[in-house]
Amino acid sequence: MIIVMEENASEPQIRTVTERLIELGFDIHRSTGERYTILGAVGSRPADERDFELMEGVHEVIRVSAPYKLASRAFHPEGTRIKIRDVEIGGDNVVVMAGPCTVESKEQVETVAAEVSKLGVKVLRGGAFKPRTSPYSFQGLGEPGLKLLREAADRNGMLTISEIMESSQIPMFLKYVDILQVGARNMQNFNLLRDLAKLAKPILLKRGPAATIEETLLSAEYLMAGGNHQVIICERGIKTFETYTRNTLDISAIPVIKKLSHLPVVADPSHGTGRRDKVPPMARAAVAAGADGLLIEVHNCPEKALCDGAQSLLPEQFSRLMGQLRMIAPAIERTVD
């Protein structure tokens, strides 16, 4: 923490601030310039900068170190690779995870799984518990949905990813799901994060619609501080004033997080745009910007989908997209299976 005193701060004011810092266990480096005095406070205990901002004679207080440690690139410079069976997230291959928004029936999930598997996809996505804004919307099949997802994945040699909504669901998810997804609305559900931190399963953590990159990495830190280092960050769009798209997919967050953190970063252009016709351009953009993977909704019959059909690609659209991604990836020395 650095405290910049006002130009005309008095010596007693500087002393009061200094004493408060010492009381909190900080070491202080004082640097007195012609115009103002700067106090550099070094210590390991977290402190609230605002407490000092309000003290007499203080001009500004600046937090120096990033508040996350385990998630920072400095902690693990070479980049984390998460290996699950034959899939590696964070390596040279851009991992495409695809499947229906929601598991609706055995036939639906089997059809989609077979289609996407044929196109090279090794991770099958599908929701069984849906966080719906309205209490009157379809809320998912529950455990039977997870079971259908698992069976469809197994039949095609695929991994599964699905969204978990509360801690009590953990034992159920451990039975069926390879990657546990924390939804955007739960990104700061700290009780859930603390419980997931105890698992030996990879977690895909979605950035909240109003979460800064720093807040997102702090939520990852909750998982890591609790012992789970297999964390994948997912950009899925932020709230902005623009209303044409449901959210604004923040493509720049991909290179930014890759710089600040060693964790793999994937993008979800389906939720990030909310419209099928915008999914391919944004999927291509994400890969071109360096994403380690994608999460894409594919449905064999989107107009009958019980949830978010409007943002699901048809299998043939998805096939064309996969071809484009295979052409783009080499430009940044990556591959798409």
Q: Which of residues 288-317 bind a copy of itself (CB under 8 A)?
A: 288-290, 302-303, 308-311
**What's the min distance (Å) between Cβ of 99 and a copy of itself?**
19
**What's the min distance (Å) between Cβ of 331 and a copy of itself?**
4
Backbone angles phi, psi at 286, to 5 degrees: -60, -45
How many Å separate Cα 299 from the centre of its chain?
24
Q: Which residue, 123 or 265, is less far from a copy of itself as judged by CB?
A: 265
Considering only 117-125, 155-163, 293-301, 322-330, which stretch makes contact with a copy of itself by CB under 8 A? 322-330
Q: Which of 80, 270, 273, 300 binds a copy of itself (CB under 8 A)?
A: 273
Rounded CA-CA distance 318/273 in Å is: 16
Q: Which residue, 158 or 223, is less far from a copy of itself as judged by CB?
A: 223
**What's the min distance (Å) between Cβ of 275 and a copy of itself?**
6
Count of residues in contact with a copy of itself, rule CB under 8 A = 108
Q: Which residue, 10 or 31, is less far from a copy of itself as judged by CB?
A: 31
Rounded CA-CA distance 246/184 in Å is: 14
The total of other beta-carbon atoms located within 10 Å of residue 324's CB is 15
**What's the min distance (Å) between Cβ of 120 and a copy of itself?**
16
**What's the min distance (Å) between Cβ of 158 and a copy of itself?**
26
Rounded CA-CA distance 265/81 in Å is: 11
Cα-based angle 263, 186, 160 (whole degrees, multiple of 5):
60
User: Do strands 37-42 and 2-5 pair parallel, antiparallel, or not at all (unpaired)?
Assistant: antiparallel
Q: Is 317 exposed, middle or buried (0-12, 13-18, 19+ CB in 10 A)?
A: middle
Rounded CA-CA distance 317/261 in Å is: 33
Positions 158 through 217 that interact with a copy of itself (CB under 8 A): 165-168, 185-186, 188-192, 208-210, 212-215
Q: Token match 């080499």: residue? A: 330
Positions 93 through 152 that interact with a copy of itself (CB under 8 A): 131-137
Q: Which of 67, 144, 157, 227 binds a copy of itself (CB under 8 A)?
A: 67
Positions 233 through 252 that interact with a copy of itself (CB under 8 A): 238-245, 248-252
Q: Which residue, 67 or 144, is less far from a copy of itself as judged by CB?
A: 67
Q: Is 277 exposed, middle or buried (0-12, 13-18, 19+ CB in 10 A)?
A: exposed
Closest-CA residue to 181 (of 198, 202, 211, 210): 202
Positions 17 through 56 that interact with a copy of itself (CB under 8 A): 20, 27, 29-36, 38, 40, 42, 46, 48, 50-51, 53-54
DSSP letter at 186 equals G
**What's the min distance (Å) between Cβ of 28 and a copy of itself?**
9
